């Protein structure tokens, strides 16, 4: 029996990117408070499927077969494969979103932005940029199982790597990626979300700013979690040893200076 499947897809999904512990979760949930948007826990699986050149590797291995591979023999090319994969995954997430414009909040996708831009040609990206000292402090105190949660140097390096990758993407695709300063978002959520909605081409709504102001902003946000005003230590730098300060400057000092954060020399 022939079964016809009809996929409904979101033409312009949103990916929130940035280093872990930078506020990706609360930004996504705040945007999703807007009546036109929807989000969920991190999907993450797209990183493992397509990052690190896996997509191009799969294509190359297919083409390099002695019989030229199925795609070539069917007169299909790389763009055809990418389109099919993107439409299928988009349909899967759109089914869960109930037709609303979906927002993904997986920090790992910061390392796969070029692949995602190809898979989802209408996608928009929001890069949340937070002071590396606060991010590293949050990483180390998070209690997470990630390797950066127990390795200070790796935490510093992770912040720098993610920020550099996200901003490089934003510079190449300024019409598709907006960088939002975490500090500015906390200080004036109404103005920042007005800019976000303008960038996304969405109607203005007070809901995102109200959501952020009423919920915790220094944790991987869970929608059923209790509201809290905790924003972490105002000066994590002073709580670090001289060795930790030196490590941070080695791994992240240049990135801090590049993006306008005050740098304390050791």
| pLDDT at site 93 | 95
Query: Cα 85–169–201 angle (5° rounding)?
Result: 75
pLDDT at residue 101 above 90? yes
| pLDDT at site 82 | 83
The pLDDT of 109-136, averaged and rounded, is 96
Give the rounded percent of residues in the chain with a pLDDT score beyond 90: 69
| pLDDT at site 225 | 42
| pLDDT at site 230 | 38
Q: What number of other Cβ atoms are within 10 A of residue 124's Cβ?
A: 23
115-124, 219-228, 255-264: range with lowest mean pLDDT: 219-228
Give the rounded percent of residues in the chain with a pLDDT score beyond 70: 89
Q: What number of other Cβ atoms are within 10 A of residue 155's Cβ?
A: 30
The pLDDT of 119-124, averaged and rounded, is 96
Q: What is the pLDDT of residues 211-223, one digit of tens each?
A: 999 886 554 545 5
pLDDT at residue 34 above 90? yes
Average pLDDT, the chain: 88
Residue position matching structure tokens 């390797």: 147
Task: List the end-to-end C-alpha distance of the chain, in Å, as a whole number.
Answer: 72
Element housing 16 (H / E): strand 14-17
20-24, 69-73, 83-87: range with lowest mean pLDDT: 69-73
Helices 78-97 and 54-63: crossing angle in degrees, nearest 10, is: 140
| pLDDT at site 27 | 96
The pLDDT of 140-157, averaged and rounded, is 95
134-138, 154-158, 235-239: range with lowest mean pLDDT: 235-239
pLDDT at residue 232 above 80? no
Query: Confidence class of residue 265 from pLDDT cuts 50, 70 and 90?
Result: low
Backbone angles phi, psi at 37, to 5 degrees: -120, 165
Domains (range + CATH), the chain: 14-234 (3.40.50.300)
């Amino acid at each position: 029996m022939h079964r016809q499947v009809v996929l409904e897809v979101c033409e312009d999904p949103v990916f929130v990117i940035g280093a872990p512990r930078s506020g990706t979760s609360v930004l996504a949930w705040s945007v999703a408070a807007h009546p036109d948007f929807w989000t969920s826990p991190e999907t993450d699986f797209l990183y493992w499927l397509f990052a690190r050149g896996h997509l191009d590797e799969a294509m190359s291995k297919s083409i390099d077969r002695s019989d030229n591979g199925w795609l070539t023999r069917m007169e299909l090319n790389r763009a055809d494969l990418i389109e099919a994969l993107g439409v299928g995954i988009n349909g899967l997430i759109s089914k869960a979103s109930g037709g609303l414009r979906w927002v993904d909040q997986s920090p790992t996708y910061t390392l796969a932005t070029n692949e995602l831009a190809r898979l989802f040609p209408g996608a928009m990206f929001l890069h949340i940029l937070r002071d590396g000292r606060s991010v590293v402090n949050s990483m180390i105190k998070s209690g997470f199982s990630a390797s950066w949660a127990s390795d200070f140097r790796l935490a510093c390096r992770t912040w720098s790597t993610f920020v550099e990758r996200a901003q490089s993407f934003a510079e190449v695709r300024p019409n598709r990626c907006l960088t939002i300063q975490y500090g500015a978002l906390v200080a004036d959520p109404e103005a920042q979300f007005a800019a976000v909605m303008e960038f996304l081409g969405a109607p203005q709504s007070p809901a995102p700013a109200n959501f952020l102001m009423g919920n915790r902003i220094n944790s991987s946000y869970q929608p059923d979690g209790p509201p809290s005003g905790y924003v972490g230590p105002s000066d994590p730098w002073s709580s670090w040893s001289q060795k930790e300060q030196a490590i941070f400057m080695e791994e992240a000092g240049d990135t801090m200076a590049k993006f306008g954060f005050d740098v304390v020399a050791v």
